[in-house]
Amino acid sequence: MPLEEYLAIEAEKVQHIAVPTVFTWIVSPTVIYGKHQIREQEVNEAYCEAHDIRVVQRQSGGGCVYADRGNLMVSYISPSTHSQEVFETFLRMLAGALNNLGYPAVSTAHNDVIVGDRKVAGTACYTTPTGTVVHASMLYDVDMEALEQAITPPVEKLEKHAVASVRQRVRNLRETKDLGDINVFREMMEREIEKAERLVIFDLDGTLLNTIDDLGYACNHALAACGFPTHAIEEYPRLVGNGVRKLIERALRAGGVEPEEKITDQVMEEFVPYYNAHNCDFTRPYEGIPDLLAALKAKGCKLAVASNKYQAATEKIVSHFFPGVFDAVLGERENIPRKPDPQIVRDIEAKLQRDKVPSTYSVLYLGDSLVDKATAENAGVPFVACSWGFVAREVLEEAKCEHIIDAPQDMLPFLQ
């Protein structure tokens, strides 16, 4: 914990942590209680004193834990101040590593990790102005008798606070699968965490590809075909976002036409076939994007596209410009809510998980719009905004996007 606090303090001084940092540690017998807990209500002081068990308070909240040389402590320091996002990433990392070692681990809504019906790891966190610190206490070969006694207050306090038996709720991982002693387990976990699968989700329009000309020409064609005013192509960046239908509604309204459902449907009927035939005429990848994708593939990352463009066009454009690059490509689909609803992120994860335990990927989302920012936040995954797309950097800054990059290669440090 002192190392965590030192790194957090140093991060505050330099005002930036470039990449997440993870490390493991092992302690001699210690009771660690949360920042907001009352020591006398959580700790059996007499037992701890008699058995030479240290008692310390940590910076984070959460419950009281006992740790000894059968525990593996895992710390994760992230550049994100969105604590729930960090929790999601950390829990995916832990659950994924344990599953790869043969433990059927899943995370819970309470930010714990369980195997079967028993808890094997608890987590807690605290935030600084520049990041978040999360730590886990993982039970591998803990002295369960000491655990129960050390964090069970005397009987009168037990009755007063109705504390349940600890042993009924937790188990040692070694009981499920014996991988050797704690040092062997530690080495194996570190290797699995280091090679944890990463999933990078990209927005399409304004992030991977500059599609504005083809969208603008298609929309103008459809508007003109229906007898409505058209717009200069330079006006279209402020009209796009939230899918084709929303684009048409905005274009109609910008021309002084109320976008009633029947009128919008009429323009859509003209737009779709024209755009299907011409959606690769002027569209091009942004400079540096092909190199970024190649670098991420070389790192072993899974890559996905999450777009509000309708599915048929999304698939065609991605396969045209990036054949064989992406592991999942999802756009707007019938009866599925559009971004910023997080369903598209969940569907991408489900598509890639196959027979794995859900939510074991470490996910990062790159997009150019506030819709993308909201999508990532709603899905509980870290977000990086790019300034080369359809939304000006000043707008991204005003919206308090925590991480903004100005060139595709600037994405790489987030995945080291």
Active-site hit among 68, 112, 203, 214:
203
Rounded Cα–Cα distance for residues 166 and 64 (Å): 11
Closest CA to 7 of 76, 86, 80: 76
- Contact, 372 vs 385, CB < 8 A? yes
Catalytic, 203? Answer yes
Query: Beta strand 112-115 with 118-128: parallel, antiparallel or unpaired?
Result: antiparallel
51-58, Cβ contacts within 8 angstroms, sequence gap of 24 or more: 51/146, 51/150, 53/29, 53/146, 53/150, 54/28, 54/29, 54/30, 55/30, 55/31, 56/1, 56/30, 56/31, 56/32, 57/32, 57/33, 58/1, 58/32, 58/33, 58/34, 58/124, 58/135
358 preceded by a cis bond (ω within 30 of 0): no
Query: Beta strand 328-332 with 302-310: parallel, antiparallel or unpaired?
Result: parallel
Name residue, tokens 């997009």. Answer: 367
Structure tokens at 95: 């659950």
Closest CA to 136 of 87, 191, 192, 209: 87
- Contact, 23 vs 3, CB < 8 A? yes
Closest CA to 231 of 255, 213, 258: 255
Which residues are known to be catalytic? 203
